[in-house]
Structures are given as C-alpha cells and as structure tokens.
Chain A
Amino acid sequence: MNRTLQTLALGIIPLIMAGCAKGPGGESASNTITVKGSDTMVILGQRWAETYMGAHPGIHVQVTGGGSGTGIAALINGGTDICEASRPMKNAEKEQVKARRGKEVNEIPVALDGVAVYVHHSNPIPFLTQAQLKDIFTGKVTNWNEVGGPAGKIVVYSRENNSGTYVFFKEHVLANEDYAREVQTLPGTAAIVNAVSKDDASIGYGGIAYASGIRAVPVKKDANAEAVQPSLETVQNSRYPLSRSLYFYTAGEPSGEARSFIAWVLSSEGQKICEAVGYYPLRAK
C-alpha cells in the first residue's frame, strides 16, 4: 500500500510544482519575455532561456508548454509574446491572430527535428516507404517478408503516448490512425534504442541524436522516391521525409527584448543549443 502511495505522491509532486511554476501568463513588463506552446520544444526553449538569462541579467524569459495548440491560442488572445509550435500555423489561425491582434503573424523557423526509424544492426532491410511504416505501426503488416526483409514477426516499439515524437509519428506516418495494440511502448528514446539493439526482429523510432548501436533505416516518401538516410544534411535540405521545422510565432514584427532574444536564438550561439538538446540547427545562411 505504501508503495502505491509513494508512486502516486511522486507523480503528484511534479504536477503541483508545474502548477505553481506556471503563474499568470502574458506579463507585458518590458523586461519579461513570455514563450508558450509546443511540448516538444519546451526543453529546447528552457535551455535557450536559461543561457540567455545567464548572459543578460535583468531579463526574464518565461517558458511554458501545453502544446502547440495552446501556444497558438495564447498568441491569438495576447497571452504570450512568443508562441512555440512544432507544426506550421494554419491559415485560419493566422486570420484569427490578424483579427484579434490587428497584426500579421510573423513565422520564424528556429530549429529542425528529424525522426529516425531504428532497426537491429543485423537487419538487412534496404529501406522502408512511409506507407510500409504506416502498415507496420498500425498492425496491418506483421511479418518482415511483407516489406522486403527475411521472414519473421515484426516486434514494434514506440514512445509512450505523452511524447511529442509519438504524436508527430502518429500524424505524419500513421495519418492520425491509432497505433496497433501490439505496439510495445517504452519510457524514453534511450530505452527504445536499448530494446531495438537487443532484438533482431524489432523496429522503433526516435530522435536521430540517439541512434547508436542500431541502424537508422533509409525512408522513402513513396514507392518511386529515393531512399534517404537521415542526417544533418538531409534534414537540413528537407529531403528526409520525417523531418520538420520548429517555429517561433509572434504577432507582428517582434520588438524590444523579444526581438533581441529571437536574434540571439538564431545566432550561432543559440543554434548550438539545438544540437545539445537533440535537434538540428537551421541551415547556415
């Protein structure tokens, strides 16, 4: 019984702390910059904020998550200076910002993200198309010989459903269909890499930065496209199909402290942090 309580209490404490940390959003004091949005980007945003605040005492950068949708809603009603989003904003949302704030939306790509598909290093499969990946993860295909590999059941690993990568993969590869029930989920990309590296029938996915001890399979957008290996280069020139940009959005041109913060994020110093957190820097201009 004590164990259960402990488990629950441990789960609850961070929640309470997160609740306390949020505070009132959208302070418009000139030396406070509020950044709100994507959960995928929240660690990246926080690392940027910490480093920036360290170098600029007196400036306060407040970063909160909640999801890209939450961030966009906050931008629409003026609750945040900068919105973080791991997907491009829809036109309808841009219209709303214009209607409510009277300013055009300003889109600033700040980092790149690539999701690699992992298999055991002895797996001879030459490539997988996006359609094949969809069939594997939705459970339509369960044997490697159906996708051009040796006969044998496919063991599928996924991230837990709280992960931004889980959602990205679900949206971009599964076209929003549900993962198969047989898909095993593990806590964290490192656990997936470990499991895949030990299991020669397995497949998994996660950030390319983690891909050691396993093989990242080249991915084809469709049957006729070329098979692309994920790398800094193929993600930066968007040839790799499972890559995406991560964005900052502001209402109108950023001004004051927000402007210098964004300029710093785009500088080589800010872009170096992307790699430290497991994303890719933007292509050098």
Chain B
Amino acid sequence: MRGSGVLSSPREVSIAPSGERRRTGAIADRIASATIKSSAFLTILSLILIFIFIGKEALPVFTSAEVRREAGLSKLFLPQPAKAGARAQFTWQPVSEIPKYSLVPLLAGTLKVTLIAVILAIPVAVLAALFTSEFAYPWFREVIKPAIELLAGIPSVVVGFFCLMVLAGWLQSIFGWTYRLNAITAGIGLSLAVIPIVYTVAEDAFSAVPQAFREGSIAMGASSWQTAWRVVLPAAMPGVLAACVLGFGRAIGETMIVLMASGNAALLTFSPTDSIRTFSATIAAELGEVVVGSPHYHVLFFIGAFLFVITFATNLFGHWWVGRLQKKLQGEV
C-alpha cells in the first residue's frame, strides 16, 4: 500500500486533511499534557501552601513571648505541676485557670491506638491478599477484592458511630472492661479503615510477582502453600512493606473513628483498655471554637505541623527502606 506510484496522487490529496489532523492532534496533545502537568503542579502547590499556612500558625509557639509563657516547648514536652507545689505531671488541660498543654499523653495515645490498629490490620490484610492472589478461585477473587475495597469507601464517621454504639457494647459485655470506649475499641475501628489500604496494595504486589517464579517453584516439587509462603511473599516484600507504611500513615491521621470511639481522655498509661486522646481528635474537637490567635490556637496548629512531620518522616523512611529491599532482592535474583 505504501510507496506505490499509483497511490501517490491520492495520498497527496489527503496530505492536507491528515496534516490538519496531525496539527489538531498536536494541539490536543499539548493541551492534555499542560492540563496534566498543571494539575500535578497544583497538587504540589496546595501541599506547599497548606504546609506554609500550618507552619505560620504554629510558629508563635517558638517566637511569641506571650504564647511561650503559657505553652513553650518545655511546657509541651516536659512534666509541669498543676498547681504551685503539686507533683509535676504530663497533663493536657487547655481550658483551665492554669492551662496545661502537655503533648506527651496525646503522643502516647496516638502511638498506642495506631500500634493496636496496625498490629490487628496487617496480618489480616496481608494474609487475605496472599489468599486472594494465590489460592482463591478467579470468580471468588472477583467478588472478594471489590468487597474489601468497598470497606475503604465507608465514611469513617460511620465506622466511628458503629464503634461507639455497637462494637463498644459487645466488647464490654464479652471482656467486662470498665471503660467502654478505650484504645482497643478505637484500634479495632481504626483497623477497619487500615485493612482495605494494606490489602489492596499488598494484593497488587503479590499479583505482580512473575508467574515464572511460581512455575519454577511448583516444578521443583514445592506445594502451592510452600510456593506462596517461601517464594511469592518474599518476592513481593517491598510492596507489602509499602502497604504497611501506607496503612500506618492512614491510621495515625485518622480522626473521626478515634474521636467517636476512644473516649478522648488524655491519659498516660500502658493499659490498652484505658481511654486515649489522639492528636488528630484533639485538633478536630478543639479547633472549631478556639479563640483565634490564643496560645491554645497556636498549640493546635503546632500539633498539626508535628503530625505532618511524623507522617512525612514515616513515608520517607518507608520509601527508603522499600528501595533498599528492592535493590537487595534484585541483586539476589
């Protein structure tokens, strides 16, 4: 068809429209790429703007003398006596004659509930993903994957309300805890939000393991369980770790579930059946009514910035670790 002299003249005739088409194609191309570029840029820009805004509002904790007198760094992180002569304690009590802004119980509560959620969610999610990818019949896989992913679509306030109204009562009647609302109740609710994220990412990682790995393993006489556990899981490890880091980030920033289900008492204890108060719930509960420009207001923004830094550092560490593991695995293969 191409290069024959007979067809050269019709081709010449068609040059104009095809050139036009090429030109409009190029314009559409350019518009599309500009749109994509600008939306990517917009995401980064809004991220930077939000960080600048939070940072600016958090800065008086370091710079303003008035804020520092009430809530300086030493007051935020070191124990303070509630009254003159009283024992120094870590207390979060911002509305008081002597406001107390210790972040230590909030940090402990945040870590406690996040840890519980992650410990509950990761084994369930990773094993479910391994099962779906390696053992489930294709039709069953078509059902279970969207079903678990649908779990992520449930608004967290609904999960929180479920924990407050139903789950807390069940757990209390089974275990006889004094406090219905506690770190475990909130952690279980939180794990419902973490499971779909870890599951989806881990499942993708398992599916991405080359079929040749499995065939090779089976050919050498391994059972399908040995193949899944000793071949597929290690090969997908970087993806699984990335899933865990994402799950941790989701858990530490989640607000509504812990606000509803944790009881929000800022206690500093190791018991998982005590009530806890997290950073995110504190911001959500207090920012709405706080006097703009007061020390309390700036401390809440400082908490926001602190939370931002924690998640950012976790993600960064996760990336670095995943990258290292990937390199190591590729080196071995």
Q: Which one of B164, B266, B280, B283 contacts A191 once the chains associate, using CB atoms below 8 Å?
A: B164
Q: Which of A11-19, A45-53, A277-285 contacts B (4 or more CB under 8 A)?
A: A11-19
Determine the residue in chain A with the shortest Cβ distance to B105. Answer: A181
- Complex Cα spacing A230 to B95, Å: 27
- B287 contacts A176, C-beta separation under 8 Å: no
B286 touching A67 by the CB < 8 A rule? no
Interface: B272 (CB within 8 A): no
Q: Which residues of B contact A201 (CB under 8 A)?
A: 178
Q: Is B147 an interface residue (CB 8 A)?
A: no
A4 B178 Cβ-Cβ under 8 A? no
**Are the CB atoms of B180 and A155 closer together than 8 Å?**
yes
* Stretch touching chain B among A24-32, A129-137, A161-169: A161-169
Q: Are A167 and B253 in contact (CB under 8 A)?
A: no
Q: In the bound complex, how far is the Cα of B53 from the Cα of A17, in angstroms? A: 15
**What chain B residues lie within 8 Å of A161 (beta carbons)?**
94-95, 285-286
Contact of A7 among B178, B275, B284 (CB under 8 A): B284
Q: How many A-B residue pairs have CB under 8 A?
A: 113
Q: A14-B288, A191-B164 are in contact. Are A4 and B311 (CB under 8 A)?
A: yes
How many whole Å from B101's CB to the nearest CB in chain A?
12
Kindly state whether residue A56 has any CB partner on chain B within 8 Å.
no
What distance in Å separates the Cβ of A11 from its nearest Cβ neighbour in chain B? 5
The answer to whether B289 touches A199, judged by C-beta atoms less than 8 angstroms apart, is no
- The proximity string for A residues 181-209 relative to B, scoring 1 for CB distances below 8 Å and 0 otherwise, is 11111110001001100110100000000
Residue of A nearest to B263 (CB): A184
In the complex, chain A residues whose CB is within 8 Å of the CB of B287: 11, 15
Give Cα distance in the complex from A160 to B300, angstroms.
Answer: 14
B169 engages A187 (CB within 8 Å): no
Could you say which residues of chain A place their CB within 8 Å of the CB of B266?
Answer: 181
**Inter-subunit contact A184/B54 (CB<8 Å):** no
How many B residues face the partner with a CB closer than 8 A? 52
Do B288 and A8 touch across chains, with their CB atoms under 8 A apart?
no
Is B41 interfacial (CB 8 A cutoff)?
no
CB neighbours (8 Å) of B79 from chain A are none
Contact B180 A162 (CB under 8 A): no
Residue pair B249, A5 in contact (C-beta under 8 Å)? no
- Give the Cβ gap from A96 to chain B, nearest Cβ, in Å: 21
The yes or no answer to B82 lying at the interface (CB within 8 A) is yes
- B292 in contact with A19 (CB, 8 Å): yes
User: Are A3 and B253 touching (Cβ within 8 A)?
Assistant: yes
> What 0/1 readout, one digit per residue, does chain A (138-175) give for beta carbons within 8 Å of chain B?
00000000000000010100001111001100100000
> Which A residues touch B54, using CB under 8 A?
8
- Minimum CB distance partner of A184 in chain B: B263
A3-B250, A4-B253, A198-B168 known; A185-B285 Cβ under 8 A:
yes
Those of B234-262 within 8 Å (CB) of chain A: 249-250, 252-255, 259-260
Would B315 and A1 count as touching, CB distance under 8 A?
A: yes
Q: Which of B267-299 contact A (CB under 8 A)?
A: 267, 275, 277, 280, 283-292
Q: List 29 A-B contacts (CB under 8 A).
A: A1-B311, A3-B249, A3-B254, A4-B280, A4-B307, A5-B50, A8-B304, A11-B284, A12-B53, A19-B292, A39-B289, A161-B94, A161-B285, A162-B290, A166-B95, A167-B95, A178-B97, A181-B91, A181-B266, A182-B265, A185-B265, A185-B277, A186-B263, A186-B264, A187-B259, A191-B260, A195-B181, A198-B168, A198-B180
List 8 other contacts, CB 8 Å, given A4-B311, A160-B264, A182-B267: A3-B250, A8-B304, A170-B95, A178-B82, A178-B97, A187-B260, A187-B285, A199-B172
